[in-house]
Chains A and B, each alone.
Chain A
């Protein structure tokens, strides 16, 4: 079922106006304020755009495939109509002078950005607790985390505030919160969607994707956002094309992610999903990927290294917060100390350590070589299997504050999502049911590069089953 199509049909058919659709989204956003999914609403600009769509409809002018569909963007997408903060003190009052390509493409099809969603500051984290403006609460249980870093986008989608939300996924930041809140999350092949106008975290694994209630909706959003962009030279030549439900597939269950460390209910829901895949005619076999468990160690070398250089731009000079200091060195030091959260600083320091001359070979180079081995392992598996599956995260949503004192424990929540990120592979999180306590569990579907549309077709077919 398509929630997006229903709204578009209602607006185009005159059942509701685009203005009414936007107002309804604002009403739901306010009704759910306690979850703290959104940092700010972009009311004025959204209503202007909605009125424009209504006027165009009256005149019989084209309005696009997403005419009047409200959405929210993670607050690391540069957008007009309000600040773009990356949930940081550093960019608290930053007004973007341009919009991200992904936003421009959605707007060109008539979609309306109604607000910006909470995240871990600069997208560093897996719980949205690192936001400078306070955490987002899980859609099922307000004492638990939303997941992260795109926690606000996941929760806004799960609560039905908007039919889709944008997120970024560098090591699981879309998939893990999708899993924790029971929605579909898409992390595309690296290079599918332009990163232009999105706050950079780790440039070799940053990807742009979305949250939706159904795979069909995700397919439409990804189709519109994807494609080569002259402003992001790492975008791949256009390849994304929606496809029909695939023929019986050969699927591998990654055994290494079904170990005794994984929550029992997560494993049960995973195995149930696998039975449904089999019932739908697909073959599922257990596969071994011994190197997968090392991916997290690679990730927490490579990504902090890229973060330490990407975040060097926040110097307080050209934009963002500036500390009051009399010397330039103090200005940099104080601006960055006040503007960044503890996790940002942790990652910058780690990055500076692994890139420093004495340790470069032992850490950074070692990790990039290990990454080659990881990709080789995937390539070998994809010679035999069409899709690899497993859980998205080892546990359902944990309690607020449960992992904040121990960074390594927090990082372990990413252990199943970082391997595809390092290899640039597409991966989805699809709902696989709930625990006895009512917490969502997600199933991860991983494909070879550029098989995004096939994965979505598989997810669509499983929703129909």
Chain B
């Protein structure tokens, strides 16, 4: 049995930049534990010496010509998507 504590979930939430409420932490703790215990059944499979599969296309290093391609978007369009802008830049709260 994998055991998950509310402190574990709090730590994972921090790693994931999720500002969860205490209620959410409590309900997620039970959910996460149940899911992890379900997926643990993979331990029944012998994977010794098996290579992992990270992708299924077998494509590798797909190259293209290094040429300038006109794009339909421009800086003004993209800036208009941000919630805060100033002086043609995206504005964020103080970082330091």
Q: CA A95 – CA B78 in complex, angstroms?
A: 10
Q: Which residues of B contact A190 (CB under 8 A)?
A: 56-57
Pick from B38, B45, B77, B90: contact of A370, CB below 8 A.
B45
What is the distance, in angstroms, from B76's C-beta to the closest C-beta of chain A? 10
Determine whether the beta carbon of A424 is less than 8 Å from that of B93: no
The verdict on A234 contacting chain B, using a C-beta distance below 8 Å, is: yes
Whether B9 contacts A423 by the Cβ 8 Å rule is no
Complex interface bits, B47-78 against A, C-beta within 8 A gives 1, otherwise 0: 10011111111010010100000001100011
Q: Which of B68-92 contact A (CB under 8 A)?
A: 72-73, 77-78, 81-84, 90, 92
Q: How far is the CB of B79 from chain A (nearest CB, A)?
A: 9
* A15: Cβ under 8 A from any B Cβ: no
Question: In residues 206-233 of chain A, which contact B (Cβ within 8 Å)?
Answer: 230, 233
Query: Chain A 46-81 against B: per-residue CB contact (8 Å), 1 yes, 0 no?
Result: 000000000000000000000000000000000000
Q: Which interface residue of B34, B40, B45 has the most chain A CB atoms within 10 A?
A: B45
- Contact between chains at B78 and A233 (CB < 8 Å): no
B50 nearest in chain A by CB position: A369
Q: Is the CB of A300 within 8 A of B38?
A: yes
Contact residue among A300, A315, A320, A411 (Cβ-Cβ distance under 8 Å from B17) = A315
8 Å CB interface, A303-355 against B: 308, 312, 315-322, 325-334, 336-337, 340, 342, 345-346, 348-353
- On whether the beta carbons of B20 and A363 are closer than 8 Å, the reply is no
Q: Are B95 and A424 in contact (CB under 8 A)?
A: no
Q: Which residue of A lies closest to B46 (CB)?
A: A373
Given the contacts A371-B52, A407-B31, A319 and B81 also touching, CB distance less than 8 Å: yes
Answer whether residue A372 sits at the interface, using C-beta atoms and an 8 A cutoff: yes
A250–chain B nearest beta-carbon distance, Å: 24
Q: Are A97 and B52 in contact (CB under 8 A)?
A: no
A5 on the interface (CB 8 Å rule)?
A: no
Q: Is A318 touching B24 in the complex (CB atoms < 8 A)? A: no
Number of chain A residues close to chain B: CB under 8 A: 70
Chain B min CB distance to A352 (Å): 5
| CA gap between A320 and B84 in the complex, in Å | 11
- Decide if A298 touches B42 in the complex (CB within 8 Å): yes
Residues of B in contact (CB 8 Å), total: 52
Residues of B within 8 Å of A230, CB to CB, are: 64
Closest chain A residue to B19, Cβ basis: A333
A308 to B24, CA, bound (A): 18
The one of B15, B19, B41, B92 in contact with A294, judged by C-beta atoms closer than 8 angstroms, is B41
Q: Are B12 and A424 in contact (CB under 8 A)?
A: no
- Say yes or no: A328 contacts B95, CB within 8 Å: yes
- Give the distance in Å from the alpha carbon of A317 to the alpha carbon of B90 in the complex: 7
Asked if A291 is an interface residue, CB under 8 A from chain B, the answer is yes
> Chain B contacts of A233 at CB under 8 A?
59, 62
Contacts of B8 in A (CB 8 A): 353
Instruction: List 17 other contacts, CB 8 Å, given A236-B59, A322-B83, A363-B36.
Output: A95-B81, A191-B59, A298-B42, A300-B39, A315-B17, A318-B81, A321-B83, A327-B93, A329-B17, A346-B31, A348-B18, A349-B9, A353-B12, A353-B36, A366-B42, A406-B34, A424-B56
Residues of A within 8 A of B (CB): 94-95, 97-98, 190-191, 204, 230, 233-234, 236, 291, 294, 296-298, 300-301, 308, 312, 315-322, 325-334, 336-337, 340, 342, 345-346, 348-353, 356, 363, 365-373, 375, 406-408, 411, 422-424, 449
Q: Which 7 residue pairs spanning A and B have beta carbons closest together? A: A333-B19, A424-B56, A368-B52, A322-B83, A319-B81, A369-B47, A332-B17
